[in-house]
Copies of this chain bind each other. A is one copy, B any other.
């Protein structure tokens, strides 16, 4: 039984607590903390034997905690992840790894100094069965070398405070990670195009947005991000290779014929679409801890690279130009043979 400490018990933190407590095998939540101690205490009430730590640092240091989940506010991530590394404990950090490229870089330095991967970053699409099936076909080589990818990321709606920066940093960041993972390659440049604005979008919000990502190896990825799609949470992806294409299918379920139409469900929320991916992500993470091996999921390098690409995306959003992505050298720790 792995004793997990959770830093930050907002919506996403509570969802992971539910997952660790009631869905997955081999873990329990042993301690929680939150900037809002009241909320932490309230959450702990429902968790048999769980303590409330005064701070993230205290939680990380506690001998009752074997592994740490960081789901607090983005700007606090760096400190907690560094503390987790220092304590030699496995850390699962929700994206972003840290809020600036420099901060991510410092985490990399700290982890590299330990000589062992300890941190996993929460890019959950890598655990989605459909994305995995697509990647397996691409990697299998049966349809040849990849040339292009078309992607769409459609959210039914976003809260009024959602900004144009967040379209890149909070939404497109998932597609950026998917592109890097799908082709096992870095993104070399980013361009941004702004179509006619959706009238349901707040004044000044660049919604929808089209990103063009050029991979180092030449694959071109276009990503439509639309945050006021209203009709559903619709994630599309198609990889075009030299001898064929492969794409995510429409979600399964019941097909109804009525009123002159056949129809099926489009998910209405990212929770519905990716619930299983979150479960798999955490179970695989717990399994590596139980087996005392390095995590196999997204690394600090992946968190760093995603942040640098997002920065280029923000620059392209402002300049209207193709903006290059410049990465530091990749440490050996993160090289895959």
Residues of A within 8 A of B (CB): 21-26, 129-130, 133-134, 136-137, 142-143, 145-148, 150, 152, 193-200, 208, 210, 212, 214, 217-220, 222, 224, 226, 228, 230-232, 234, 240, 242-266, 268, 283, 287
Partner of A258, one of B129, B143, B226, B247: B143
Q: Are A264 and B242 in contact (CB under 8 A)?
A: no
Q: Are A208 and B147 in contact (CB under 8 A)?
A: yes
Copies in the complex: 4
Smallest distance from the beta carbon of A325 to chain B beta carbons, Å? 16
Smallest distance from the beta carbon of A135 to chain B beta carbons, Å? 9
- B residues less than 8 Å from A219 (CB atoms): 195-196
**Given A129-B253, A147-B226, residue A245 in contact with residue B231 (CB < 8 A):** yes
Instruction: List 27 A–B pairs whose Cβ atoms lie within 8 Å, in order of A's numbering.
Output: A22-B25, A22-B287, A25-B25, A133-B253, A133-B265, A143-B231, A145-B199, A147-B197, A147-B226, A148-B210, A193-B214, A193-B220, A195-B219, A195-B220, A200-B242, A208-B240, A210-B212, A231-B243, A232-B260, A234-B245, A246-B255, A246-B256, A249-B254, A250-B262, A251-B252, A262-B266, A263-B264
Q: Knowing that A150-B224, A194-B220 touch, tell me 7 more A-B residue pairs with CB under 8 angstroms.
A: A145-B196, A152-B240, A193-B220, A200-B242, A249-B255, A249-B264, A251-B252
- B residues less than 8 Å from A252 (CB atoms): 129-130, 249-252
